[in-house]
Amino acid sequence: MCGIVGYTGDKQAASILLDGLKKLEYRGYDSAGIAVREGDRPLEVVKAIGKLENLITKTEGGRKVLGKCGIGHTRWATHGEPSYKNAHPHLSGNCEGNGAVDSCVVGVHNGIIENYRELREKLQRHGYVFYSDTDTEVVVKLVDYYYKKYAHTPVDAIAKTMVRVTGSYALELMFDDHPGEIWAARKGSPMIIGVGEKESFVASDVPAILSYTRNVYFIENCQCARIAPGKVQFFDLNGDEVTVEPQKVEWDAASAEKGGYEHFMIKEIHEQPCAVRDTYNSFVKEGKVDLKSIGLSEELLKNLTSITVVGCGSAYHVGMVMQYVIEEMAKLPVRVELASEFRYRDPIMNPGQLVVAITQSGETADTLEAVRLAKKRGITTLSIVNVVGSSVARESDYVLYTKAGPEIAVATTKAYSAQLMAGYLFGVELGRARGVVSQKEYEEYSKELGTIPEKIEKILEGKERLQWFATKFAHSSDAFFIGRGIDYAVCMEGSLKMKEISYIHSEAYAAGELKHGTISLIEDNTLVIGVMTQPDLYEKTIGNMAECRSRGAYLMGVVSYGRYDAEDCSNFITYLPPIDRRFAASLAVVPLQLLGYYIAVARGLDVDKPRNLAKSVTVE
């Protein structure tokens, strides 16, 4: 949530800042702004409400704002309504900032300062006047206060501020008497620093700087950094310089562009075969799942007594699928928890338990705190993460990296599918290590998983039928997804896709629960989508579909090839290539993603950036 960029080097900063902010639009925002300076010339601040295009127009694409050092921000309102005065950047001086300004410190911030009221009162007693309602202005003025108190040393000022502030933040600052430098600090919220030839970059996420450099540093919690052209230094809370090792981003810069597709979401739906194949190939060597490469020993797997999977949103839905697969394949109890609930309910943890955290960004606040809680209790942690070097990855004992590449659309598709593959591979290897899965079954499962990418491609070939069907229900007010077992877990994800991008009220139900109240909502032309891929549960779900049809519902079925009797009780059928029932979620989710996408397009909505949502939820 919120986007932060920074640049210092030998080029004009404004256009680079705007380009970076453009690539961070998926994080969600309501206003945007940049602050740029050139040597000893006065700082120039430009802000705009609404879409980033408003800021781009105001600055003529950055051409009106000259300077080779600058910071930028897209704001997601937390403290204070979306307005010009609350837009970032914020100043330590007593003005809102528009054009050339005189200010000792200017800054942008992602996160939430929990004790900002207390700090604001303290600063007011010292003569500071506030022009905005934000917690960010408070922290910028607090840096200014300590900067002047401690003999104009940015390291001391930032370190004192970090100790005094409660909450989460990624903070980016410029000081008036340190031209050409950007200072950054982090606790909880993500931030990366990229270094190139005679230039350096700061950003909330990799896509913002991927076109300029692949050499990045992941600043650690409670560290600050001095960023100068082509170099960076890191400091701890004591002001001592520390070493942070650089990492190379392997993502292709082109993967963060639309590449001719109308939206990132449909591009990423089509990238799923590649994401799933790359994730599979990263762990399967000569037909065997290799988890030893990440340090997971067979002895550890054998001695597990239980697994708790934590995640939020789609990651939670992946966990639901994993629960069914692992309990059957490894005969090990699995509990799936919303990370936002897990961390607050004093969960029971025992030796031999494994906590598996699932997150695309590796920065989801609740999931990160769930990992920290588990580690505090002495529990082994494994994360399934897409971003190398992210906070969850760094703080987990073991990491299964997915190979989805950058995912820009807010509604996840390829990251979800890559996470499913990682979960399957873990389940198969766990079952083998515990002696539940025979060698023959192990080889068959490993081979079957390798066929998923081409089967997803087969489903995508028939997308036009789903597009046609979607236009018929573009103006629906309600939709219900029903299924049993793994199909129910898939329904949860399909329902989420529908509601988050099309704004249609949508719910997922275990099909057997319909008669416990929900069926009272079914009326003429209510859209009901039934997912029926599990052979042992097929007839029961068909019966539930028939009950809905008798009450006027319009039925869509998602079934495997050969289940032609489903046409007798459904108005529209999507057939899936045959696959082992345990892995059917990887195929069944694809038509549901397409359905949600095409309905949103037919409704004329902003598919990639749905209202009120952000890609990465880095605050509670």
**E-only strand ranges, 283-340:** 284-285, 288-289, 306-311, 334-338
CB 317 within 8 A of CB 492: yes
DSSP designation for 536: G
Q: Is 2 a catalytic residue?
A: yes
What 3-state DSSP class applies to 507?
strand
Q: Is 447 a catalytic residue?
A: no
**E-only strand ranges, 69-191:** 69-75, 90-91, 99-101, 105-113, 167-175, 182-187
Using omega within 30 degrees of 0 as the cis cutoff, is the peptide bond preceding 89 cis?
A: yes
The H or E element spanning position 73 is: strand 69-75
Tell me the C-alpha distance between 340 and 362, whole Å: 15
Phi then psi for 384, rounded to 5 degrees? Answer: -110, 105
Own/partner contacts of 231-236, CB < 8 Å, gap of 24 or more, are 231/195, 231/200, 232/193, 232/195, 232/200, 235/155, 235/159, 236/159
Tell me the C-alpha distance between 105 and 125, whole Å: 19
- The two tokens of residue 583 are 């892995």
Tell me the C-alpha distance between 58 and 63, whole Å: 10
Report CA-CA distances (Å) from 48 to 12, 84, 255, 579, 611: 20, 6, 29, 52, 18
The H or E element spanning position 505 is: strand 505-510
Phi then psi for 424, rounded to 5 degrees? Answer: -60, -50
Nearest to 89 by CA among 78, 67, 105, 102: 105
Torsional sign, CA 33, 36, 41, 43:
positive
Tell me the C-alpha distance between 306 and 92, whole Å: 52
Q: Which residue has the tokens 């059928």?
A: 573
The H or E element spanning position 124 is: helix 116-125
Tell me the C-alpha distance between 526 and 550, whole Å: 12
Buried b (16+ CB within 10 A) or exposed e, 302-325: eebeebbbbbbbbbbbbbbbbbbb
Report CA-CA distances (Å) from 28 to 51, 63, 77, 311, 449: 10, 25, 10, 20, 35
- The two tokens of residue 344 are 């607050």
- The two tokens of residue 471 are 């236009």
Phi then psi for 184, rounded to 5 degrees? Answer: -130, 150
298 by Cβ neighbours in 10 Å (0-12 / 13-18 / 19+) ranks as: middle
What 3-state DSSP class applies to 520?
helix
The residue count of the chain comes to: 620
Tell me the C-alpha distance between 196 and 229, whole Å: 8
| Active-site choice (2, 69, 224, 569) | 2
Question: Looking at this protein, which amino acid is placed at residue 340?
Answer: S
| Active-site choice (187, 455, 463, 615) | 615
List active site positions.
Answer: 2, 615
